[in-house]
Amino acid sequence: MAGKPKLHYFNARGRMESIRWLLAAAGVEFEEQFLTSPEDLEKLRNDGSLMFQQVPMVEIDGMKLAQTRAILNYIAAKYNLYGKDIKERALIDMYSEGMADLNEMILHLPLCPPDQKDAKMTQIRERTTNRYLPAFEKVLKSHGQHYLVGNRLSRADIHLVELIYYIEEIDPSLMANFPLLKALKTRISNLPPVKKFLQPGSQRKPPIDAKALEEARKIFKF
């Protein structure tokens, strides 16, 4: 009998948020154990629970999984969100990796020294509107289907909608020239498990604030 997956991370989006989104979209209930101090991280390390001494770590199906991508790949495959064959999977991976690159830039923005923040924000805006969103709009336009790959919901759609929410938090006007992506966002947001996750009181995390950032600095010593 498998218990619910258990997520180990600090109480913020960080690298765990895309895992939360994917589990939620798959309709999988999960538990969370939050690291709140350096001692919490040390304990996990000393227990031998963290393969490379890092979080995210997800306990699932009797395993303690590390490495965000390995975890996402496992969840996607287990819950049939990974395409029907290796060619569809290759497209899903290609799209997801591009999204992860942009997400990484957004993720690191709060950690940017103040004198570099403006330049970084400009780069994020530029990449969003010139590199990433056009690529995905073009994919949807090319086949005219409701999902990015194989005419079926996959992890790529979930990751993209998550990313669109972050883009809109930065500046909603960045989405202006991407009608198909906006329609995808609406469509995916209306799927019952996603709709539920988008509601207040769910396990979705807010943007990191100064207090959470300070906590992260203490726990991870950076």
Partner 1 sequence: MPPALCQGANRLETASGHVAAHLAYSLSSLGDLGNPAPGVMAAKPKLWYFPGRGRMESIRWLLAAAGVEFEEEFLETREQYEKLQKDGRLLFGQVPLVEIDGMMLTQTRAILSYLAAKYNLYGKDLKETVRINMYADGTQDLMAMIMMAAFKPPKEKEENIALIVTKAKTRYFPVFEKILKDHGEDFLVGNKFSWADVQLLEAILMVEELNASVLSDFPLLKAFKARISNIPTIKKFLQPGSQRKPPADSRYVDVVRRVLQF
Q: Which residue's CB is nearer to partner 1, number 131 or number 217? A: 131
* Separation between Cα atoms, residue 27 and residue 23, nearest integer Å: 6
C-beta atoms surrounding 31 within 10 Å: 12
Taking the mean position of all CA atoms in its chain, how far away is CA 188?
Answer: 15
**CA angle at residue 143 from 173 to 174, to 5 degrees?**
10
Q: Which residue's CB is nearer to partner 1, number 149 or number 208? A: 149
Min. distance of Cβ 211 from partner 1 in angstroms? 29
Q: What is the number of alpha carbons within 13 Å of residue 53 lying toward its C-beta? A: 5
Secondary structure of residue 58 in the 3-state scheme: strand
Interface map 85-104 toward partner 1 (x if CB under 8 A): -xx-xxx-xxxxxx--x---
| The one among 42, 51, 119, 202 contacting partner 1 by CB under 8 A | 51
Residue type, 146: H
Instruction: Decide if residue 49 touches partner 1 (CB under 8 A).
Output: no
- Asked whether the beta carbons of 44 and 57 are under 8 A apart, the reply is yes
Q: Which residue's CB is nearer to partner 1, number 126 or number 169? A: 126
Min. distance of Cβ 197 from partner 1 in angstroms? 24
Sites of contact with partner 1 (CB under 8 A): 51-53, 61, 63, 65-67, 69-71, 73-74, 77-78, 86-87, 89-91, 93-98, 101, 131-132, 135, 138-139, 142-143
